Structure 1
Amino acid sequence: MIFSTLSKASLALLAASILLVLLAPQEAEAHSWASCIDWRFKSTKNPSWSDKNGECAGYARRFPLGKSFAGLDSDDPNRHYQQSHKNPSPENSLACSNGKQGEEPGADETMGKPVTSAYNGRDKRGRKTGQMTITKAGGQLCIRWPAKNHAVKDEKNRPVTIALSGVNPTKDPTQKEFLKNIVANLNYKNCTDKGSNTDIWPCGGCFKLPANLKTGYYVMQWRWLLNSNEFYTSCADINVKA
């Protein structure tokens, strides 16, 4: 056997090397998603996206509670959803993940029936899910996402687009429909509390909703372009009240 020609010292060195590789922190490229749709800062003078300096008052659809907000790319199913780029144009891609389609199918983010059923309940694994965002026309929303190693200096900074449906839709808009109503462009690299682990930097951006929104439910899409044809999206419902 091949191991018979190796000394005990060589075998020990080989075993140690393999163990180091297995235990070393993984810095592989990862992909982002919107975790919180309505982030509330504890201090507006020193806004921070970290858990110790704020809290979430509204989540993406069927968002599981109790896990690290940056750790859901290894969830089952993973949280990030990359739209298909096999279609002639990205405008034809599925806007909100159904957990089946796309280059990287994510968790199910299709509209609930009724809309509220995607919140304050249980996901398919029995975990509690977050609450829906409640806001008002002209109000400010702050959305949070994990950097996932893409907010460092050598990464190109492509903006996050925020789009809205019309009031009280009966199904999720198409991507073409979302692109007709982009209400904000946010800085992807707007991160705080930066430590040595660039995967878990908390990032986010704030914007004001249109002042002419009618009361009712709206579908909101968070969409980020990583590379030339890699679009990642997250969908949520917001309840606009008078």
Structure 2
Amino acid sequence: MVFKTTFAFLVVAALAMLCTLTPQAEAHSWVDCVDWKPASGKNKWTKGKCLGYARRYPFKKAFAKLDSDYPSRHYQQDSKNLKKGHETAPACSDRRAGEEPGADETRPSKVGDAYYKSSGSNKNWGRMTVTSVGDTLCVRWPAKNHAKESSPPPVVINWMKDDGKKNHPQSVLNKHFLTKLNYKNCDSGKSEDVRACGGCFKVPSGSPGMYLMQWRWMLNKGEYYTSCADVQVVKK
């Protein structure tokens, strides 16, 4: 009888420990698609087609599941390097820096090498976004359990002309603010973790060429996540 009681206790303890070790749904987000073309009707962020992605984005992976991959897509900037006026944290993940390093989104020497069928040859990466001045770009991201919060901070879109540098400190991108998007602009009917969200903006006026777009979102005060993409702007 004592043996059975002890055995039962050990089983319960083991199960409790297993539960504490089981990964829970991540609460971070990232850009899933930079150039999303929504289908008409309801659930516009779930139904549609993606024509452009972030740097080295594994587009064949299941939507909203890249937080459990290695490297994950969520890059959390180091809060110690985000002091106002001295924001030295890399704007794009270099897979080394950050409280959560994320995947490598640094600029290669040839921008196209971070995408498939531009100059890159990796078939697992998505295509680069190609657009023109005045067109509408729609960006998509997974809710990651924040779609029902009363007032999650908005997504910030920074936009700057490509200058050939491998990476920039966040202080540089902050000077190129473009717009804000409502984080909880999400579809319905999906679990909170994998619910699709998104927002659109007009491509600003400027000379044709390559541009850097940064998607940046603050989950909690001082806790920032970013995704970076190159956008080729062509003449209409």
Q: Give unmatched runs, 5+ long, in structure 2.
A: none
* Equivalent residue number for residue 109 of structure 1: 105
Find the aligned partners of 2:169 and 2:231 in 1 and give their Cα distance. Answer: 18
Find the aligned partners of 1:164 and 1:235 in 2 and give their Cα distance. Answer: 10
Number of corresponding residues: 228
1:45-77 Cα shifts (integer Å, max 9, x gaps): 545111xx1010000000002211200001111
Cα shift at 1:5: 2.8
* Equivalent residue number for residue 213 of structure 2: 220
Cα shift at 1:29: 4.3
1:168-223 Cα shifts (integer Å, max 9, x gaps): 3111343122111211100000110333x21101001011111x221110010000
Task: State the superposition RMSD in angstroms.
Answer: 2.7
TM-score (norm 2): 0.87
* Equivalent residue number for residue 87 of structure 1: 81
8 Å CA contact 2:109, 2:164 repeated in 1: no
Matched, 1:35 2:32: yes
Matched, 1:96 2:71: no
- Choose the corresponding residue for 2:183, options 188, 199, 208: 188
Cα shift at 1:6: 3.6
Secondary structure in 2 matching 1:73? coil
Find the aligned partners of 1:234 and 1:72 in 2 and give their Cα distance. Answer: 13
- Point out the structure with the larger strand share: 2
Matched, 1:75 2:72: no
- Choose the corresponding residue for 2:146, options 140, 146, 150: 150
User: Identity rate of aligned residues, in percent?
Assistant: 46
Find the aligned partners of 2:130 and 2:66 in 1 and give their Cα distance. Answer: 24
1:91-125 Cα shifts (integer Å, max 9, x gaps): 2211000000011100000012201100007xxxx
1:115-150 Cα shifts (integer Å, max 9, x gaps): 1100007xxxx7610000000011100000001112
Q: Give unmatched runs, 5+ long, in structure 1.
A: none
Amino acid at match of 2:214: Q
Find the aligned partners of 1:92 and 1:20 in 2 and give their Cα distance. Answer: 40
Cα shift at 1:7: 1.6
Amino acid at match of 1:36: C
Matched, 1:138 2:134: yes
Secondary structure in 2 matching 1:49? coil
